[in-house]
Chains A and B, each alone.
Chain A
Amino acid sequence: MDDEALVEQIRRGNREAFRLLVLRYQRPLFRFLGLLGFDAASREDLAQQTFLSAFRAIADFDPRKGRFSTWLFTIAKRHASHERERAHHRHETPATEATEALSRHPAPDPAEAAALAQRVRLLDAALRALPGELRSTFLLSQINELSLEEVAAVERCPIGTVKSRIHRARERLRLALATRETS
């Protein structure tokens, strides 16, 4: 059943249809939030807020204006921005995603583990160093759920800008990894 059919079911009061949507999008949503630099606790809070907001506003979703995934990631992005502002006011530094990623992907031998650890830390630092709009656009495209048109809708910019941002982000990340790996 496609997203729009599930939304119709939810509007008719079928909560199990909403569960299916959560199951379908929880992974890309956690991935998006993780790549934005939120720690595990914040990721869960933000993902919950996103799904709850989507449920409450499901009557407002209009499939003629775009896909459900675009709408959902727009909500997630709004919550993420608010959380960033709140964290900034609290002067908090986000916990490193690199440590968590490494604990989830232990490498079999020490040499490989060290190389992976180095790579993940470099990537973490490089992602954090990207300007906000570059990082957000790049991550939305990396989710693989959003097309260029959909990323443009979430980011509210032309498709050409999306392409250019993705290209610049990829190049910066590649150079960050390549330079350090060879040094």
Chain B
Amino acid sequence: MSSCNDIQEKIARDESLSGAERAHTIACESCAAVIADFTLLEAALRTFGTAVPAGFVDRVMAGLPAEGTATPSAPRRWVPLTVAYAAAVLAVLNVGGFLANVFTASVALGGTP
């Protein structure tokens, strides 16, 4: 037979009691008080924060990105890759522009390109 301490420890851990232990909690004032405490605690917990405001789901749905602007299945690396490609293109254009400027300046100074 478990001691009161063991039984109360099980109750505190929310573990299930054996038949003999359950019978003990009915006869034992100390263990019955612990069960009553936890019943009270659980009842009080149930009164907290359960209300969902009316229309909440509609507000969530209305707040989602417009269809077509964000595809949930789109891989996240899509944007960085696009940015990377754009940066690469700009870099090439910049280098091209720089070479073109050198070429133009060289010709204007009468040099050979």
Per-position binary interface string of chain B over residues 42-82, scored 1 when its CB falls under 8 Å from any chain A CB and 0 otherwise: 00110111111100110111011101001111111000000
Q: A13-B71, A104-B51 are in contact. List 11 more A-B contacts (CB 8 A).
A: A11-B72, A18-B64, A22-B57, A22-B61, A34-B50, A44-B56, A51-B60, A56-B65, A170-B12, A170-B38, A177-B44
B57 touches A19 (CB 8 A): yes
Residues of chain A whose beta carbon lies under 8 Å from any beta carbon of chain B: 10-13, 15, 18-19, 22-23, 26-27, 30-35, 40, 43-44, 47-48, 51-52, 55-60, 97, 100-102, 104-105, 116, 119-120, 122-124, 142, 163, 166-167, 170-171, 173-174, 177-178, 181
Q: Do most interface residues of chain B lie in helix, strand or loop, or is the interface mixed?
A: loop
> Which A residues are CB-close (under 8 A) to B41?
123, 170, 173-174, 177
Also in contact, A52 and B53, with CB within 8 A (given A11-B72, A119-B40): no
Q: Do most interface residues of chain A lie in helix, strand or loop, or is the interface mixed?
A: helix
Cβ-closest 8 pairs across A and B = A34-B49, A11-B73, A58-B72, A123-B44, A101-B47, A174-B37, A178-B37, A51-B60
Closest to B14 in A: A170
Q: How far is the CA of A167 from the CA of B57 in the complex (A)?
A: 35
Chain B, interface size category, equals 20 to 34
Residues of chain B whose beta carbon lies under 8 Å from any beta carbon of chain A: 12-14, 33-34, 37-38, 40-41, 44-45, 47-53, 56-57, 59-61, 63-65, 67, 70-76
Q: How far is the CA of A35 from the CA of B46 in the complex (A)?
A: 10
Closest to A58 in B: B72
> Which A residues are CB-close (under 8 A) to B67?
13, 15
Q: How far is the CA of A63 from the CA of B36 in the complex (A)?
A: 40
A–B pairs, 19, beta carbons within 8 Å: A13-B67, A15-B61, A22-B60, A23-B57, A30-B52, A31-B48, A35-B45, A35-B48, A44-B53, A51-B60, A59-B76, A97-B49, A104-B51, A119-B44, A166-B13, A170-B41, A171-B12, A178-B33, A178-B40
> Which A residues are CB-close (under 8 A) to B76?
57, 59-60
> Which B residues are CB-close (under 8 A) to A119?
40, 44
